[in-house]
Amino acid sequence: MGFRLTPQDTSFYSLFATSAGLLVEATRELTKLLELGVPERTSIAERLRALENEADEATHELIKKVNTSFITPFDREDIHNLAAHLDDCMDHIEETADLIVLYRIGVLPEGMAEQIEILSRMAEVTAEAMPRLRSLNDLRSYWIEINRLENQADKLHRKMLADLFNNSHQDAVYIIKMKGVIDGFEEAADSFEKVAHTVEGIAVKES
């Protein structure tokens, strides 16, 4: 662990935990999206918008603390990056769910439930890891698991796109809409991996 003056502001850790916890809530809302018809999905989009606003507030508070604190728990740039990537996870989740509602997509394609399940697991693993930033112990299993899940998400993403374009009875407008949704959830998975890469970099620097 690198040398740090004391005392340290422990609220950084709380804000990271808050951001990750909101992602768990967001993926739970995504799961509900699968169970509802087109008219009922609006309430899920509204709830996700509220969660995205909460996540923005946590991100802004983190950035503010970085800019006003003399001592930070680790490198300022790493704190910025970690906060930004957590925020990106939420942004992609909220935006993609909103597209499903705005496009009035009826039956979601095969594989969407698995795509959301992967995101849910990534959110849970991330939320479990954030409290361990304080000690930077036992984090290796976290980024290994996120990497595994992201690889799984990549394979599923390619399969879903192939199925979408190979399904000749769908019209071009539907294909364009669904590609945006499929890609949006993949971008969320990529952002979770960026969070893990940032945590791994912090652990290496501070060891």
Cβ-count burial of 179 within 10 angstroms (0-12 exposed, 13-18 middle, 19+ buried)? middle
> Within a domain: residue 1?
no
Provide the H-helix boundaries in the chain.
11-35, 41-68, 76-102, 112-129, 140-166, 172-206
Using CA atoms in the order 76, 17, 126, 73, what is the torsion angle rounded to 10 degrees?
Answer: 30
> Within a domain: residue 6?
no
Tokens 């606003």 -> residue: 53
Structure tokens given for 175: 């294909």
Which range marks the domain in which residue 40 is found?
11-206
> Within a domain: residue 57?
yes
> Within a domain: residue 2?
no
10-residue block means of pLDDT along the chain (207 residues)? Answer: 48 93 97 90 96 96 87 89 97 97 90 96 98 92 98 97 86 92 98 98 88
**CA dist., res. 34 & res. 116, Å (int):** 9
> Within a domain: residue 76?
yes
**CA dist., res. 119 & res. 157, Å (int):** 12
Query: Are 85 and 195 a contacting pair, CB within 8 Å?
Result: yes
Query: Are 182 and 105 a contacting pair, CB within 8 Å?
Result: no
Calculate ∠ Cα 50-53-55, nearest 5°.
Answer: 110
Give the DSSP per-residue string, 54-89: HHHHHHHHHHHHHHH-SS-SS-HHHHHHHHHHHHHH
> Within a domain: residue 17?
yes
Residue 125 has what pLDDT?
A: 98
> Within a domain: residue 30?
yes
Cβ-count burial of 129 within 10 angstroms (0-12 exposed, 13-18 middle, 19+ buried)? buried
Residue 168 has what pLDDT?
A: 65
Total number of domains constituting the chain? 1
161: CATH? 1.20.58.220
End-to-end CA distance of the chain: 4
> Within a domain: residue 3?
no
